[in-house]
Amino acid sequence: MTAGQAELAGKAYPDAILQMIEITKDFPGVRALDGVTMTVRRGEIHAICGENGAGKSTLMKVLSGVHPSGTYEGRIVFDGEEMSFNGIKSSEHVGIVIIHQELALIPELSVTENIFIGNEVTRNGVIDWVESRQRAVRLLQRVGLDVDPDTAIKNLGVGQQQLIEIAKALSKDVKLLILDEPTSALNEEDSENLLSILRQLKEQGLTSIMISHKLNEIAEIADSITIIRDGRTIESLDVESGNVNEDRIIRGMVGRALDSRFPEHTPAIGETFFEVRDWTVEHPQVPGRLVCNHSSFYVRRGEIVGFAGLMGAGRTELARSLFGRTYGTYIAGTILIDGEEVQITSVPSAIAHGLSYVPEDRKVLGLNLLDNVKNTIVSAGINRISTRSVIDMEAEVAAAEDYRMAMNIKAASINVGVSTLSGGNQQKVVLAKWMFTQPSLAILDEPTRGIDVGAKYEIYGLINRLADEGKGVVMISSELPELLGVCDRIYTVFEGRITGEMTAAEATQESLMRLMTDTAAA
Amino acid sequence: MTATKVMETESGKAGGPSGGGSASSVGGGIKQVLGGNLRQYGMLGALIVLALFFELMSGGKMLTPSNAQNILNGNSYVLVLAIGMLFVIITGQIDLSVGSVAAVVGICTALSINFWSFPWWLGILFGLFIGVLIGMWQGSWLAFVGVPGFITTLAGYMLFRGLYQYVGKASSQPAPAEIRFIGGGYLPEWGPNTGLNNSTLLLGILALAAIVFLDFRRRARVSKAGGTPPALWVALVRLGVIALALGYVTWLFGSGRSGTSFPVTGLILVVLALIYNFIATRTTIGRGVYAVGGNKAAAALTGISVKRTYFLVMTNMSFLAAVAAIMYFGRSTSTGPADGVGWELDAIAAVFIGGAAVSGGIGTVTGSVIGGLVMAVLNNGLYLMGVGSDMTQIIKGLVLLIAVAFDLYSKAQGKPSIIGALARGFNPKGVEAEFAGGAVPNRDLGNPLWAVLSFVVFPVGLVLWALWRKDRPNSAKQARNGVVAALVVVVFVGVIAIFYALAQTTGLFS
């Protein structure tokens, strides 16, 4: 491998805009990058693939100067010149702009203000708002966004915000645009739109580097692919040469072929035990707008029920309003458990009735990142290991260890902070936290978002195991192949209404998409 | 199967930093003896060295029984406030009103005894009741109306200061003997002449017995649960060190002039610290407080009531302010116009020196008490050396800054050696860049060079200034104070820096 890399490094690339050569970056106790070499050609879309923890983000931080020159070994050649960046500003100065997964927009400020923040258009030291606005309009056109430049960012959807970030990058005369998981928070439609904008910008000569876990997107849009595993370059694939498909990429990422993306599972479905009738909930801020509109559904024991829908269709709102009315204003509807109507008006009562909810955004809603693995695992079921609110420390340790084993959580010990874990392991900790409450119904909201292929496979296995234990599972996901691969039955949601119900066997991506966009339903 | 294999590499990375490959066997041994979380030992070390420093510089006036008793009597009320403040700060709030609340409680207790002829105990209960009532008032505004704690208690700061003046009418109310005992009394002397105060001796023995018992019970439980307790020699060495320390403290407080002992205020403080430490670490309420401070939204979805937590924490703060008020009332033997002035700031400083995070979610009772003691020893030591209150304020301000700066640095990602970080050169973009990255836990605070430099420049400046002023008439004392101030800052920085160097070479900090 070393010989191969040396050869790669020595080769002359006349059309290369960027060469990163033998980049090695150490953190105390960990070698994050171990001689990574990659070449990006001018005017291409270059994808970087690798599992979480493989070193992609570190590599991009080196490239954008977040890790300044001198804290790593190796060379960066950009536009034919050797670079040494000592901060984001210095990399932006030569035209390298990074857009992070967590967008850096300020919600209260307008589109124009956000585009030019830190890079204001000035005349004699005073901001020239007229000129700024003019330029903002032109930039918005370039990214195909039809919004008023005076709109506050908080009024835009995530997809639109992502495009604003690109406009912001364009305003800085970007030559190389780095996108970290640009579509992870977007629904299919917005993702599609974003990718087509990227393609247009490419035709205008912009080079971009894209990090993504969505392999279908990469296969679709990338011109070449660098695969990183364990901090090393595994291979560089040229898409034009053919032979590149999702399976090929996965093989590179995990070191061998994944025979199947979804574990085998034979469902053992029992009788209906959880039923929701006419569930109707109003938006918390907008009276009269129904986020759940007379929704009715049921879950049987041992069954995995999927909820498909576009972002904002009301899936999360449904789940959270059922889970102790933690979202919106309850209007009407009943919950029946084992045929009996129950009142669930708070999270503790939801837990007491055997409900659990794994939220979609684990860092914002699922975890206290300051806490350790042990405390997190027992946090929701803390009453199970305490008497009169005094915690039994031995029982706590025992419980946390049990779940660490059972869920195969890779952590040095149960006392390490959850923030040190990879995304997949964090998600397993959140799952463990809810499994510890011994739920009869597990509601999982986007349980595999932002985690890598290997960890996804493990999560699917855990979901199957829950079903095999006779629990009901509700799984909300924006990835249709995942719903089709894991669920037994799928509901579609559109604008707060349940628009369809299909068994996984009869459903296809197309039929689900039709119901999700309501072209079929009345 | 595949997945398992893949995940192994991640675990290596997750475990790496905390596993700390550099931990030598000696370091590991020290670590075992000291126990899990060692960050607070940095501040404990600073406390001990400061005490020894002042002992030397003041010619042995620091570590005398009467001075130690004075320090406790004069500062216990602030430490009690710090305990309450810790919980408020962990939830991410702050309470600026505790001084004013304490003043109101003090005057109410005094008036109820002196005018309504309440017996002293009923007066105390009445004061505590007023404290709880005020706490519920503030807690309600924060929890149920949603006014941020800063604003609620800023309003309370003014409101209750005014109420104190209105109720007290500038009168000075004397405290009855029983309350004077609570605020400044000593435990009784009895039994045979042991050379020490027997109450203090008994307390020391009981404390040691309790520690030994709890340690061995924990060992037994760990073995029973199938785990391996630390080696026996580790336990014995640790208990030996604790016994020595306890013995010294017992001797220090017990060997004073007759009629003195470990002060009653100290006893109240120890009992409260134990109770609140238990609440923080061993109860669901404590977990709730940390959870709310760490991530409010996640806590709510976990079934923890954020409102109830806020309400409890604020109510408890004012309750402890009432306790502090009564202790202070007894110590000062009467109420006065300066009651409670500036207490909130002392309490807040103690909590932050003790390692709590400004953004909430982090902090310990022990740390806060140690932080408060550092301030108390500084105050007292500088006073013993005849340093004026001007210089004392300057030093206290610097110590607060330094302590929090070092703590932030130690919490930043990884544990780069201080020397290495200094050699790297100052990187002004470090902070900005990391925050732009959106990574919350990986705070690389860039380079502490500027900070360290300013801490060096400042004492040097003080010395130069002192030398310059030396020749002027009446300025010799001021000059000496400047030198002392500079020395204190240097010693403080030195101790913490040594701890860090030690930590980095042995991997002690976890």
Pairwise CB contact (< 8 Å): B10 & A52: yes
A260-354+439-522 CATH: 3.40.50.300
Whether B258 and B285 share a structural domain: no
Within 8 A of A412 by CB-CB distance, chain B residues are 11, 14-16, 18-19
* The domain boundary residue, chosen from B349, B384, B419: B384
Q: Would you say residue A393 has pLDDT above 60?
A: yes
Are the C-beta atoms of A46 and A40 separated by less than 8 Å?
yes
Among residues A171, A64, A55, which one has the least CA distance to residue A113? Answer: A171
* % of residues, chain A, pLDDT over 70: 94
In a domain, B4, yes or no: no
What digits encode the pLDDT tens for the residues B320-369?
A: 999 999 999 999 999 988 899 999 999 999 999 888 888 888 899 999 99
Which of B237, B262, B287 is the C-terminal boundary of a domain?
B262
Identify all chain A residues contacting B425, using CB atoms and an 8 Å cutoff.
Answer: 70
Backbone angles phi, psi at A388, to 5 degrees: 45, 50
Cβ-contact A442, A471 below 8 angstroms: yes
Residues of B in contact with A258 (CB under 8 A): 2
The SS3 call for residue A127 is: strand
What is the spatial distance between Cα A512 and Cα A502, in angstroms, rounded to a whole number?
9
The count of domains in chain B is: 3
Q: Residue type at B54?
A: F
Write out pLDDT tens, residues B78-132: 999 999 999 999 999 999 999 999 999 999 999 999 999 999 999 999 999 999 9
Tell me the DSSP string of B199-228: HHHHHHHHHHHHHHHHHHHHHHHHHHTT--
Q: Domain of B351: which CATH number?
A: 1.10.3470
- State which CATH number among 2.60.40.1120, 3.40.50.300, 2.60.40.10, 3.40.640.10 fits the domain covering A2-95+175-254: 3.40.50.300
Average pLDDT, chain A: 85
CA distance A462 to A261: 14
Question: What is the rounded CA–CA span in Å between residue B106 and residue B127?
Answer: 7
> How many contacts does A have with B, using Cβ atoms within 8 A?
202
Looking at the structure, do residues B286 and B162 belong to the same domain, yes or no? yes
CB-CB: which of B9, B299, B362 is closest to A53?
Answer: B9
Say whether pLDDT at B506 is over 70.
no
Cβ of A461 within 8 Å of Cβ of B3? The answer is: yes
Q: Is A448:A456 a contact under the CB 8 Å cutoff?
A: yes
- Residue B3 resides in a domain: no
My answer on whether B173 and B321 are in the same domain is yes
DSSP state at residue A31: E
Domain boundary among B222, B238, B262: B262
pLDDT digits (tens, 9 = 90+) for B181-236: 999 999 988 888 888 888 999 999 999 999 999 888 888 887 877 777 777 888 88
For residue B428, pLDDT beyond 50: no
Instruction: Give a yes or no: residue B407 inside a domain.
Output: yes
Give the domain range for residue B220: 193-262
Q: Where are the domains of chain A?
A: 2-95+175-254, 102-173, 260-354+439-522, 367-437
Q: Please provide the average confidence, as pLDDT, over all residues in chain B.
A: 80
Whole-number Cα distances in Å, B430 to A58, B320, B411, B439:
15, 41, 15, 13
- In angstroms, the CA B267 to CA B245 distance is 17
Query: Is residue B406 domain-shared with residue B307, that is, in the same domain?
Result: no
- Is B361's Cβ below 8 Å from some Cβ in A? yes
Residue B399 lies in a domain: yes
Would you say residue B331 lies in a domain? yes
pTM exceeds 0.80 for this model:
no
* In B255-388, alpha helices (H): 264-282, 284-294, 296-301, 306-332, 343-353, 365-384
User: DSSP string of A445-490?
Assistant: ESTTTT--HHHHHHHHHHHHHHHHTT-EEEEEES-HHHHHHH-SEE
Integer CA distances (angstroms), B310 to A383, A518, B88, B300, in order: 20, 45, 8, 12
Q: Is residue B20 domain-resident?
A: no
Q: Is B498 a member of any domain?
A: yes
Cβ <8 Å between B10 and A53: yes
Is residue B83 located within the same domain as residue B133?
A: yes
Q: Evaluate whether residue B19 is within a structural domain.
A: no
Identify which of A365, A386, A421 has the shortest CB distance to residue B297: A365
With left for phi above 0 and alpha for psi between -120 and 50, is residue A325 left, alpha or beta? Answer: left
pLDDT level of residue B469 (50, 70, 90 thresholds): low
Same fold, A2-95+175-254 and A260-354+439-522: yes
Residues in chain B: 510
B223 touches chain A (CB under 8 A): no
Whether A427 contacts A52, CB under 8 Å: no
| Residues B502, B398 share a domain | yes
Condensed to tens digits (0 to 9), the pLDDT of residues A156-202 reads 888 888 889 889 888 888 899 999 888 877 777 888 888 998 898 89
What confidence score (pLDDT) does residue A53 get? Answer: 64
